[in-house]
Amino acid sequence: MKNIIEEIIAQYGGVKAVQTRFSYTEPMAVYNWRSRGIPKSLIAEIHLDTGIEMQRLLLGVKSHESLRTTQTAQSEKVA
């Protein structure tokens, strides 16, 4: 998850640029992406701005990661 977040920040030109782009009042909102994941509501905008594939961006959404882990665990129970 952290790799895609670092890639997004780099594509925008740094934390300050991401903060400005998404109208955050504090840079901590961007730094929190590293632990909380990318806000799902921003995925489409990030894709349009950076050209990073949606599937890769979803790797940075924490709830998506949890969902994938749950689905994998359920698949293993069935098998």
pTM for the whole thing? 0.76
The one-letter amino acid code at 56 reads R
Counting the structural domains of the chain, the total is: 1
Determine the structural domain holding residue 49 and report its residue range: 2-78
3-state helix, strand, coil split of the chain in percent (to 5) is 75, 0, 25
Distances 35 to 29, 53, 61, 66, 72 between C-alpha atoms, Å:
11, 21, 10, 13, 22
Of 2, 31, 36, the C-alpha closest to 15 is: 31
Model confidence at 72: pLDDT above 60: no
Say which residue the tokens 């806000």 belong to: 39
Mean pLDDT of all residues belonging to the chain: 86
Span 31-41, average pLDDT: 94
Model confidence at 43: pLDDT above 50: yes
CATH of residue 68's domain is: 1.10.260
Q: Which two tokens stand for residue 23?
A: 């109208």
Span 50-68, average pLDDT: 81
